[in-house]
Amino acid sequence: MSTRTLIVGGGIAGLAAAWALARAGARGVELHEQDTQLAMHASSRNAAILRTPMPDPVLEAAALEGAQLLRTPPRDLGADSFVDTNGVVLLGDPLHTPWLQRVVARPQTQALRADRLQALHPLVRSVAPTIQQSATSVEQAWLVPDEGSIRLGALLTALRSALEHYGVRVHTRSTITHLEPGRGAYDAQRRFYPADRLVVATGAWAQPLAASAGSTLRFQPTRRHLLIAEAGRALDARWPVVWAEQAPFYARVVTRGLLLSSCDEVAVDAQHAPVDPRVLSTIVERAHARLHVPAHLAVRHAWSCLRTHGPNERFVVGPDPLVPDLWFLAGLGGHGITCALPTALMLAEWMTRGTSTHPLAAAFGPQR
């Protein structure tokens, strides 16, 4: 195939798109990233949790496929697995939460009694003092055993190596400001890069770039906070991720302590999303409710980053409905690390064969 493809955005979406296109036989693939390095934004500032149960069954199906690819990666990514399968402990009330019922019905899901929960993760309180329990709503715990943490550094390194292997040209410090589908793209210095097809993989910055080509697709960046706290005791890297559905909260053991979030989500402008100290207080409050941690929780590092949604909060994968030769792998929301590989393979099939046979193509296609 002699068509030239220019991918804009060097986060996991752009890297995975370039990998999937190159392995599908596309020649002349190039990737442009505005920063000095690849994957400096959401793709390296996320929680790297592999947790497939989620409210939207379509996203859940994509996450299950992503989980499989991360556990058993294609050979050209050169790793046995990108997952530490320590498990995910889910805390919630299935009677009132339909998506929890789906995970409870999975054959591998295990109901956890208090003693088993304690043995699996000694920090977790079996009954959280400030979480309301009533006659009609009782929180329970389950273990989803084959999920856990994604080896993010290894995954990004493997994708970068694969691009080198396939001869994909990577331009860093290259801010693409204007797209001319069918012709190419301009950078901030008005340099022109000829290309037949353009792929928007610019995460939180997808909408303005797509609009420069005449696309009317909408993307909404939302902000989420994470912090790393000292737990006041030795941590075991084999403890599972903990995910609470009520008063949302999650905790994961990382090298420097406990990675915590209260799953906040506020629509923001991608250019201005500073850390909000009130959200950090909520995370600390929920950590006290959920975990046996010191009364004074020492925060080592806190940050916020952007999760960006497409229409109806589903991924945007495929061709623009109105603008020919303009393609998307964007709007990966809170699941891009889990779902980049399957969505990139879907995009590559679509771009190289002119159609996608993937069962989720209609749900993720921009024309929906």
Ligand X SMILES: Cc1cc2nc3c(=O)[nH]c(=O)nc-3n(C[C@H](O)[C@H](O)[C@H](O)COP(=O)(O)OP(=O)(O)OC[C@H]3O[C@@H](n4cnc5c(N)ncnc54)[C@H](O)[C@@H]3O)c2cc1C
- Of the pair 128, 259, the CB lying nearest ligand X is at 259
Name the β-bridge partners of 316: 330
Chain-centre distance of CA 34, in angstroms?
20
> Taking CB under 6 A as the criterion, which residues in 285-344 touch ligand X?
305-307, 330, 332-338
Restricted to residues 192-211, the positions that interact with ligand X (CB under 6 A) are 201-205, 209
Q: Name every residue whose Cβ is closer than 8 Å to that of residue 150 and which is 6 or more positions away in sequence.
A: 48, 49, 50, 70, 82, 83, 84, 337, 338
273 vs 297, which CB is nearer to ligand X? 273
Nearer to ligand X, 50 or 132 (CB): 50
Residue 217 tokens read as 């697709």
DSSP-based three-state secondary structure for 349: helix
Binding segment toward ligand X, per CB under 6 A, in 9-17, 77-85, 139-147, 231-239: 9-17
- Nearest C-alpha neighbor of 240 from the set 109, 86, 84: 86
- Token representation of residue 295: 């009364």
Stretch that binds ligand X, among 41-49, 73-81, 104-112, 355-363 (CB under 6 A): 41-49
How many residues interact with ligand X (rule CB under 6 A)? 41
Among 35, 196, 276, 285, binds ligand X (CB under 6 A): 35
Q: How far is the CB of 51 from ligand X (least distance, A)?
A: 7
Interface segment toward ligand X; rule CB under 6 A; list 31-39, 94-102, 154-162, 348-356: 31-39
**In angstroms, what is the minimal distance from the CB of 195 to ligand X?**
14
Q: What is the DSSP letter of 291?
A: B
10 lines the binding site for ligand X (CB under 6 A): yes
What is the distance between the terminal CA atoms of the chain, rounded to a whole angstrom? 29
Q: Are 308 and 204 in contact (CB under 8 A)?
A: yes
Residues 116-175 that bind ligand X (CB under 6 A): 175
Given candidates 46, 215, 282, 343, which one binds ligand X under the rule CB under 6 A?
46
Residue 355 CB contacts under 8 Å (≥ 6 apart), including other chains: 349
